[in-house]
Amino acid sequence: MGIIRTDEWLKEDFDRPVKICESLLPYFKGLKANEIYNLLLKYGMYRPGWRTQKNLESMIENNIWNQVEKIFFKYKTKWSGTNIPIFIFPLEQKGGIFFRQEVRNKAGVSFPDKMFLFLSHYDDPKELEALIVHEYHHVCRLRALNKKMEDYTLLDSIIIEGLAEYAVLKNCGKEYVANWCHIYSERELSLFWNHFLKKQLGKKKTERIHDELLYGGGRIPALLGYAAGYNIVRNFFKSENYSTKLSFNIPAANFIEKMEI
């Protein structure tokens, strides 16, 4: 486990991503290769083209696989975390759910037993560390909570995202937190909480409204769940001692106990 050398897969089958996804079949029980590819496309997986080919060439030139491995084992040791397979692919330049920044140059998606990173050009290596901190915090919390994915609620999800980015703040510095942490004022978030979120916190991940409120769009403010989650977590730790390891286990309900809802 650890870093999977997807660079070797990409060198051989870059133009056939579904073929590449055949190598992922053991990690997604019950899914076909094309279904895995379609799933990963939602989170930033590349489509073959000259731009993503350039991304790949840059990633290989900069030895991204070794960089990720070094950062991953730093936090695995620091957090006493689990060893998981990490898959690295070029980032699609358009479309997809946008996760960390308005200008996407990196994205990721994590599961309790694996992590995917989608990368392109960036100037500051610390940005890569911030992405890994965010995604690996997800892995550690998901494993600690040990729930079926379909049982996660909107409250679970917004706290998961808030905690992951708060870990970025604590481990990488405030200049590396995602832009969505600061796009709304406290007053706006309070209004949005009352209008959009507080009556929907029990909605399950399988319900459409869950993702609509988490990611925003249309009449719902962009990345609402993310922004609200970070604000809730940040306010919680103004009066509570912070430990990254302990944050994997704190129940989501604890974060809103003192809120006026």
Beta pairing, strands 2-3 & 114-119: unpaired
Mean pLDDT score, 138-160: 96
Range of the domain at 25: 2-145
Question: What token pair was written down for 212?
Answer: 């609509």
Task: Report how far Cα 24 is from the mean position of its chain's Cα atoms.
Answer: 19
Is 102 inside a domain boundary?
A: yes
Same domain assignment for residues 220 and 176: yes
Give per-residue pLDDT as tens, 89-135.
999 976 444 444 434 578 999 999 999 999 987 768 899 999 999 99
56 close to 90: Cβ distance less than 8 angstroms: yes
Amino acid at 96: G
Q: Which of these three, 94, 113, 145, is where a domain ends?
A: 145
Percent of the chain at pLDDT exceeding 90: 89
Is 160 inside a domain boundary?
A: yes
Residues with Cβ within 8 Å of 17's Cβ and at least 6 positions away in sequence, in order, are 37, 45, 46, 47, 48
Same domain assignment for residues 7 and 31: yes
Q: Which of these three, 145, 166, 188, is where a domain ends?
A: 145
At 260, the pLDDT band (50, 70, 90 cuts) reads low
Is 35 inside a domain boundary?
A: yes
Give per-residue pLDDT as tens, 210-240.
999 999 989 999 999 999 999 999 999 999 9
Same domain assignment for residues 127 and 246: no
Q: Please give the tally of structural domains in the chain.
A: 2
Is 90 inside a domain boundary?
A: yes
Cα(117)–Cα(131) distance, rounded to whole angstroms? Answer: 8
Looking at the DSSP assignment, which residues form a beta bridge with residue 116? 87, 109
Same domain assignment for residues 181 and 126: no
Give per-residue pLDDT as tens, 17-52.
999 999 999 999 999 999 999 999 999 999 999 999
134 close to 128: Cβ distance less than 8 angstroms: no
Same domain assignment for residues 161 and 231: yes
Looking at the DSSP assignment, which residues form a beta bridge with residue 2? 85
Same domain assignment for residues 115 and 241: no
Looking at the DSSP assignment, which residues form a beta bridge with residue 109? 116
Same domain assignment for residues 122 and 154: no
Same domain assignment for residues 104 and 205: no
Is 31 inside a domain boundary?
A: yes
Give me the phi and psi of 14, to 5 degrees please: -50, -45
Q: Which of these three, 128, 145, 162, is where a domain ends?
A: 145
Same domain assignment for residues 165 and 85: no
Is 77 inside a domain boundary?
A: yes
Q: What 3-state class would DSSP assign to 161? A: helix
Mean pLDDT score across all residues of the chain:
93
Phi-psi label, residue 111: left if phi above 0, alpha if psi -120 to 50, beta otherwise? beta
Same domain assignment for residues 141 and 171: no
Is 261 inside a domain boundary?
A: no
21 close to 34: Cβ distance less than 8 angstroms: yes
Same domain assignment for residues 140 and 32: yes
DSSP string spanning 71-127?
HHHHHHHHTT----EEEEEEBPSS-S---S-SS-SEEEEEETTEEEEEE---S-HHH
Same domain assignment for residues 81 and 55: yes
